[in-house]
Structure 1
Amino acid sequence: MKNKTVIITGASSGIGKEIAKYFIERESNVVMNSSNEENLRRAYKEFGSPSNAIYLAGDISKQDTGQKLVALALEKFNSIDVLINNAGVFAPKPFLEVEEKDLDLYWSVNLKGTYFTSQAVIPQMIKQQNGSIINIGTVLVEHAIDGFPATAPLTSKGAIHSLTRQLAAEFGKSNIKINTIAPGIIRSPLQGKIGIENADSLAGLHLLNRIGEATDIAEAAYYLATSNFTTGETINIAGGHTVGHAI
């Protein structure tokens, strides 16, 4: 991935920030995006303002944000090799309490953000006859949990899983690989935002008896970015969350 260009959305904190750090350290050219410009600038400076990275704040649910990211990547680095659709929102809410505004939020940020940003990069990848798009889903799409009601965000994430397979079919002949990473419970600021004070208390949901670290997702993203024969797949990075239970 040295000198390859990677666009990462939601790169100012949590998993996205760790993915950006991982690729920057391996000499990829990284375009960082987040809707929060202050946090994005802070993350960039924390990385040491590297010459092989640049950032652009913007709401990825708006079509023009993806187009701006493409223009910046081509102007600065002359190619777009990988897109990592990491930006998203997620919070539990009982089904009977979900309002239209909740559905609109998740479908706009999670699905439309992934959809429009992918739509922006694919023409350049077709020109190159090469590329990789990595979406972020969740194991909860295929592994529902009673006690964690999250139908609103899960429907948007389920749509991303389906979008992955269809795009893989449509653009495989152009050598564009499209996959989804479905994380288990990962240590990130998200837990605090949804009211989980001690994320490690959920370790038992995973056969490895620990929660994941953001680095675990970054490693998976790096693998998919470099793989030449993996497409249309949803890869669970979940410590056994989906395959069995400890008793």
Structure 2
Amino acid sequence: MATQQKVVVVTGASQGIGSEIVKAFRKLDYRVVATARSIQPTDDPNIAAVQGDIADPQTAHRVVAEALNRFGRIDTLVNNAGVFVAKPFTQYTAEDYASVMGVNVAGFFHITQLAVAEMEKQGSGHVVSITTSLVDHAIQGVPSVLASLTKGGINAATKSLAIEYAKKGIRANAVSPGIIKSPMHAPETHEALDALHPMGHMGEMRDIVDAVLFLDAAPFVTGEILHVDGGQSAGH
């Protein structure tokens, strides 16, 4: 069913920032394909929920097929799914490595490849990925080698995609957050996490949502890594 109503695919959409991104795009009257391992069905006919592990290439195929079958197109892909494991470098296990690489890298690669192929057909589209400011500015006491290895790769891939598809109507950008107040951080950790930001506090989920919406509505912006991190990437 072809339609001009815009369609966004959001990964890691069941809770936290991903869930808030879904709500924000619905307020803009986008149709949404939301995917996560624990995503639940919804009564909203303009949201298609697809359960699956984004590290599995078959999940990407099912998500893109659902977008096309239900809504006829893909205008925006938000690569929000991510895994962060904070361990000293020498203590990472093979399972840690496989988990982080699977979600952060394979999860980005497979669905982005399929979505961009569809965007090429229509001559327009936007890929926006959520990375981390730890890539640019490591913090002592926050071990983050696997996060930097994977999300740093996505920052680089974002710029590469932006240039490769610049003349084909497809943009690629990333949002690089600091530490965001979300369900993954227990309240008793907030004071310590606040102190890691030059501005003295963590970001809110709405800060990341607003950045995604800005990039999606900015037709002359591509290849941008937008830091939303309370000054972390600038220094201390």
Normalising by the smaller structure, the TM-score range is: over 0.9
Matched, 1:63 2:57: yes
Whether the 8 Å contact between 1:84 and 1:135 is mirrored in structure 2 is yes
| Structure 2 residue 23 is matched with structure 1 residue 4 | no
* 1:22 counterpart letter in structure 2: A
Match of 1:242, SS?
helix
Partner of residue 213, structure 1? 204
> Which of 59, 67, 79 is equivalent to 1:85?
79
What is the letter of the counterpart of residue 22 of structure 2? A
Q: Is residue 19 from structure 1 mapped to residue 21 from structure 2 by the alignment?
A: yes
1:81 CA displacement: 0.1
Contact in 1 for aligned 2:77/2:112 (Cα 8 Å): yes
Could you tell me whether the CA contact under 8 Å between 1:16 and 1:86 is conserved in 2? Answer: yes
Counterpart-to-counterpart distance in 2, 1:154 and 1:162: 11
Is contact 1:118-1:133 (8 Å) kept? Answer: yes
Question: Which residue is equivalent to 1:72?
Answer: 66
Counterpart contact for 1:6–1:31, Cα < 8 Å: yes
Match of 1:101 among 95, 103, 107: 95
Alignment of 1:32-181 (within 5 A): 32-36=34-38, 40-41=39-40, 45=42, 49-181=43-175
Give CA-to-partner distance per residue, 1:171-199, whole Å, 9 cap, x none: 1121110011100110112224xxx7332
Q: How does 1:225-240 map to 2 (within 5 A)?
A: 225-240=216-231
Q: How many residues align?
A: 233
Contact 1:10–1:16 (8 Å) recurs in 2: yes
**Unpaired runs of 5+ in structure 2?**
none
Kindly provide the CA deviation profile for residues 217-241 of structure 1, in whole angstroms up to 9, marking residues without a partner as x: 1111111112111111111011222
Matched residue type, 1:234 = I
Q: Is the 8 A contact 2:138 2:144 kept in 1?
A: no
Q: Could you tell me which amino acid in structure 1 is paired with residue 23 of structure 2?
A: K
- Aligned mates of 2:73, 2:206 — CA distance in 1: 26
Q: Percent of aligned pairs with the same residue?
A: 38
- What CA distance in whole angstroms lies between the structure 2 residues aligned with 1:161 and 1:210? 24
- CA spacing shift, 1:129–1:101, aligned 2, 3 Å: same
DSSP-derived class of the 1:8 partner: strand
**1: CA distance, partners of 2:63 / 2:217:** 21
Do 2:85 and 2:100's aligned partners in 1 also have CA atoms closer than 8 Å? no
Distance 2:202 2:173 in 1: 23
* Runs of 5+ consecutive residues of structure 1 not aligned to the other structure: none
CA displacement at 1:99 relative to structure 2: 2.1
| Offset at residue 169 of structure 1 (A) | 1.7
CA RMSD after TM alignment: 1.6
Letter of the structure 1 residue corresponding to residue 226 of structure 2? I
Q: TM-score, normalised by structure 1?
A: 0.89
Contact 2:130–2:174 (CA under 8 A) maintained in structure 1: yes
> Displacement of 1:66 after TM fit?
1.3
Question: Which of 12-21 and 69-78 deviates more?
Answer: 69-78
